[in-house]
Structure 1
Amino acid sequence: MYSDNDSDHVLLDPVIPEVVSTNEQMHVPIDSLIMALKNKAVLSAISNALATVLMPQIHEEIKATVQHLGMKVKVLEHKVSEKEREIDILKEKVDELEQYSRREAIRISGIEERDGESTDELVVKVGKLVGVDIQASDINRSHRVGHPSNYKDEPRPIIVRFRGYYTKKSFVKGRGRLKQIATKVKLTTSQRTNKSSDNNDTTNHNDDFDLESVPLEMRRNPVYINDDLTQKRSKLAAIARRLFKEGKIQGTWVADGIIFVKK
């Protein structure tokens, strides 16, 4: 028996064999295509054909992308250069401000270290040597700088901050006396050594100098007074001194934190 849909089944019955037959016939070209794609020559030909068609378009797209990115890079490089200039300007201003904050400070090097020492008292003694009469009350603060392990062969320098700029300026102005004193100390010490080895030699070529006027802490090493410079300016001053020693410049000096060079 057939239901109401039996008429549909009747109509489809002759069609199904035809579809199956057509599908079986299609297997032949599909199989051939699969076999062809396994052939390297065929794949190479297809690849070359695709490359010929697609490569110009890909090249143009890559070129446009590179140009776009190149423009972005140039813009960013310009911005970076501007920021670097701004940073350099700010660094200069910071260095100037830091140096200005040190305008009342000096560094004294060459004074021997002793246990229980008072750096304020040592500064007062140095003042007498350079012709500046000061009291401990004229000193805002003084102390040794640097770790002892970094100064095994020499005493650590003393940094001094005075209460007034002109006191500092007077110390710097009179520091030339320290060089003369160091020379006289060396000469007097040498004479005393010679006298002890030759009692017949009583000649004194340094009669006007009293060695006892120089504190013991300041006899072994020459004492120097310098401006308290920022790290940047200290490096520049060191470079200038090296150039002077090498004979590449005629002279160099520091005044109020400014490094001068004579070519």
Structure 2
Amino acid sequence: MDPDQIARLVHEIKLSNPEDHKITIFYYDLKLGEERVAYCLAARVIAVKAINKEIIRAQIPRIMQFMGKVNIEFVGNNTFIFDFALKVDRIRALREGPWNFFQDLIVFKVLTGLEGPQSVNYDEISIWLQCHNIPVAFLNKPTLENTGAQIGMVEKLDGGVSGSFLGWYARMRIRINITEPLKIFIRVGTEKSEGDVILLITYERLPDLCYQFGVIGHTFWNCGVNESKMEFVAWMRESAADSKGRGRSPPPKPSSPNTNNTAIVVHEWGSEATRPTYK
């Protein structure tokens, strides 16, 4: 059955027959299932086309270099259940993403005991990004957290080898919604009104996306738009970096940034800030 049809039917039955034919699962039986789920992850390949499940089974272990065995079961709609032999592989799949399968994004999600793989929300991922053209005065924890919050939920800041956050750019891990356009810059002002600063945003290990709309999951080839109208540019895709590699130069500035992106006002040296939107 189609996953959308299943979801619709389940919703209708819950509304029309709230208590009919209800059974109770005993704690011991449920615990057995929860122990198995603790070694599993739900995964979805974010792509327009249908993904060949046999290629997934053959290539994913090679791409991700698991230490132990993993069974991969196809459950429809480019969605899979990964059953890991080793918890270390499960943890790595969650923490070291985003993962790409031939430039298509793979989203891994934790399953709960009462949750099916088709009902999981695959719209959010965690990703490392870099803020370039950033003043030294902004390179402190409160200001970086405030800045990162304009893109998504800040999960981690990279302080560099010394832990001082100093470098050519700031690096942070952010949880973003992949159904929304990616931000490629943030306009920042200070209380002293010394002029605005444009922070350029690049994303590490970013899969293919639409450079017209800035959305992950399809490319401009799927949109059929004119390349000359693309607002999002290739420099927003950054190679993976670590704390020791933060001395690189920033990418070139965009010629005409979209003024609809977020703007913030930052107090001197990262104290609490208000966030009006510039027009």
With the shorter chain as reference, the TM-score category is: under 0.3
Normalised to the residue count of structure 1, the TM-score between the two structures is 0.27
Higher gyration radius (CA): 1
